[in-house]
Amino acid sequence: MINVTKSFYPVGQGGFYSERILFNGTPSTFVYDCGALNTPSNTRKSAAAELSKSINRSGIDSVDFIVISHLDEDHINGIVELEKYLLNTNKPLPLVFIPRPTPFDLLLFFRKTSESSPSLGWLLQTLYFNKENRVVFIDAENDDICSGDYVLQDGSLGIGKMLAGKIFSHKKKFSFFRQSDKKAFWMLKFFVDQGKFCHLKRNEVETIESIKTITDFKKKIKRIKGIYRKVRFGMNGSSMSMISFPQANCDEKSSINFKESYITWLNGDACLKTEAKMMVMEEHFSEVVNCNVDFQIPHHGSHRSFGRFPQKIGKVRTYIWAGFENRYGHPSGTVLNMVKIRGYECNWITERTSMPIVRHETWFI
């Protein structure tokens, strides 16, 4: 029996989710994104204070790893508060899984850091420049960068500190509670889309890749600003989606009860607008076929990022993090109408939502 507690926290224009899996008395907890933007009614200080309250009320006493969908502020600035909270627990700080940054991601990241965001500066210094200690990179293109000792016989990967600083293909599945004497185990699978970027000249890429410290960045700020003007897409271009699900040995799905519980499918700000993009992701996440799904509609319910729901799945509960008074028009009426036509449960999570949405589930094996 596997007990799962899913929590969708009320941060408004951003995202903050945690999942606690208890298997044979052994718990594991992860967080997917942890951040928010200001709304017109909130100052930066009050927004940070509300996010801190959500973290303190979350009941999280330890985190094994954090998944960051992408390096934009409304998905990461709460990690500063989360880390402060975790430091008080006297437990090791978690690993951080992020999509492998392209030169364009880093360029935009550095740019935003230099302008106004202390939280981005903290993340840059703590994570990116110390990646050997804490960061696991997920890449869309590479299959066998980290094969060998890190890959089990079934193609899964054991989560552990030895993964820090390494690059893994998103074609790999990550597993925990994976032991030879267990009938089932828990899986994570990622999807990274890095196909939206234009090409820079080699010397421009080399300029970006030569930045190793914030001091390097400041010295090259004029050159970097010039390169930045050529970038056509923003921080959302390589947002990382993720599914979380149980799996039986030998892929014997029938040994697990998939009829009542829900697989989790989180999307950050991924662009799923076109039919082709949705089909690619559905093929990649083939594990969700015929299953019920807790589905995060990407990019706060923007119709510019979402075209249709996945097919060949069971019941669906949708989740949208969008500020109550956000200036972007999120969530789109078009998207809300799509949810209504399908008859799906709709959960619009704002900064005014009084309590987290908590789902308790039991998977029988």
Express each pLDDT in 110-119 by its tens digit: 666 655 566 6
Q: Averaged over 136-151, what is the pLDDT?
A: 61
Q: Averaged over 281-308, what is the pLDDT?
A: 94
pLDDT value at residue 357: 93
Taking the CB of residue 314, how many other CB atoms lie within 10 A of it? 15
Residue 179 has pLDDT above 60, yes or no: no
Q: Averaged over 201-207, what is the pLDDT?
A: 81
Q: Averaged over 155-169, what is the pLDDT?
A: 73
How far is the C-alpha of 107 from the C-alpha of 202, rounded, in Å? 14
How far is the C-alpha of 300 from the C-alpha of 321, rounded, in Å? 5
DSSP strand pairing (184-192 vs 26-36) = unpaired
pLDDT value at residue 149: 40
The more confidently predicted of residues 337 and 124 is 337
pLDDT value at residue 6: 95
* Angle of helix 202-209 versus helix 103-115 axis, rounded to 10: 50
Dump pLDDT digits (tens) for 67-77. Answer: 999 878 788 88
How far is the C-alpha of 291 from the C-alpha of 288, rounded, in Å? 5
HEC assignment per residue over the chain: CEEEEEEECCCCCEEEEEEEEEECCEEEEEEEEEEECCCCCCCHHHHHHHHHHHHHHCCCCCCCEEECCCCCHHHHCCHHHHHHHHHCCCCCCCEEEEECCCHHHHHHHHHHHHHCCHHHHHHHHHCHHHHHHHEEEEECCCCCCCCHHHECCCCEEECCHHHCCCEEECCCEEEECCCCCCCEEEEEEEEECCCCCCCCCHHHHHHHHCCCCHHHHHHCHHHHHHHHCCCCCCHHHHCEEEEEEEEEHHHCHHHCCCCCCEEEEECCCCCECCHHHHHHHHHHCHHHCCCEEEEECCHHHCCCCECCCCCCCCCEEEEEECCCCCCCCCCCHHHHHHHHHHCCEEEEECCCCCCCEEEEEEECC
How far is the C-alpha of 108 from the C-alpha of 237, rounded, in Å? 11
Give the percent of the chain with pLDDT over 70.
71
Burial of 44 (0-12, 13-18, 19+ CB in 10 A): middle
**Which pLDDT band, with edges at 50, 70 and 90, does 193 fall under?**
confident
**Which pLDDT band, with edges at 50, 70 and 90, does 214 fall under?**
low
Q: Averaged over 2-31, what is the pLDDT?
A: 90
Dump pLDDT digits (tens) for 216-262. Answer: 777 887 887 777 666 655 556 678 999 999 876 555 555 577 778 99
pLDDT value at residue 151: 46
Give the global pTM. Answer: 0.86
pLDDT value at residue 41: 61
pLDDT value at residue 133: 73
Dump pLDDT digits (tens) for 77-135. Answer: 888 788 777 776 677 778 889 888 766 666 666 666 655 566 666 666 666 666 667 78
Residue 184 has pLDDT above 50, yes or no: yes
Q: Averaged over 208-217, what is the pLDDT?
A: 74
Residue 195 has pLDDT above 80, yes or no: no
pLDDT value at residue 162: 73
- Contact status, residue 203 vs residue 185, Cβ threshold 8 Å: no
Mean pLDDT of the chain: 79
Q: Averaged over 283-296, what is the pLDDT?
A: 94
Q: How far is CA 82 from CA 88, 156, 335, in A?
A: 10, 29, 31
Residue with tokens 């809300």: 336
pLDDT value at residue 146: 47
Q: Averaged over 331-343, what is the pLDDT?
A: 96
**Which pLDDT band, with edges at 50, 70 and 90, does 153 fall under?**
very low
Residue 300 has pLDDT above 80, yes or no: yes
